[in-house]
């Protein structure tokens, strides 16, 4: 049986490869996503930052330099997504989750 939610959402762990001297540091957080209709997402196919804004609706596990949790807000989301390495990780995780769902995995 397939249950179609009116406003589907899901949470996935996101691994971000953060640039550091001499390489990368893999860091993770939990992202809350909303499933965006294909037409709405592809309307912004030349603007990955806007695509990430559309799908990312919350998070857990993001902290500042002093280890204080950063609560989700539109402004904090926009600041986070302005960093290309974060934006790419957010979109990669979303696409992988949707593609796996389509394959039935």
What's the CA gap between 49 and 78, in Å, rounded?
9
Residue 63 in domain: yes
How many separate domains does the chain show? 1
Q: What range defines the domain where residue 40 resides? A: 18-103
Q: Which helix (H) or strand (E) holds 99?
A: helix 84-103
Residue 67 in domain: yes
Give the residue carrying structure tokens 């790419």: 88
- Tell me the pLDDT tens digit for each residue of 11-40: 999 999 999 999 999 999 999 999 999 899
pLDDT reported for residue 54: 97
Residue 95 in domain: yes
| Measured CA distances, 67 to 70, 84, 86 (Å) | 9, 22, 18
Give the residue carrying structure tokens 């695509």: 51
Q: Cβ–Cβ contacts within 10 Å for residue 52, how many?
A: 23
**Looking at the predicted structure, is the pLDDT value of residue 57 above 80?**
yes
Residue 7 in domain: no
pTM of the full structure: 0.88
Tokens of 69: 């949790």
Give the residue carrying structure tokens 């806007």: 50
Tokens of 32: 């809350």
Sign of CA dihedral 102, 72, 46, 25: negative
């Amino acid at each position: 049986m397939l249950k179609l939610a009116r406003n589907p959402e899901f949470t996935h762990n996101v691994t971000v490869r953060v640039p550091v001297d001499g390489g990368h540091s893999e860091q993770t957080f939990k992202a809350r996503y909303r499933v965006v209709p294909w037409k709405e997402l592809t309307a912004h196919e030349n603007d990955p930052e806007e695509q990430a804004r559309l799908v990312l609706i919350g998070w857990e596990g993001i902290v500042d330099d002093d280890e204080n949790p950063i609560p989700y807000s539109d402004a904090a989301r926009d600041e986070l997504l302005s960093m290309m390495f974060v934006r790419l990780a957010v979109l990669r995780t979303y696409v992988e989750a949707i593609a796996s769902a389509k394959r039935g995995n």
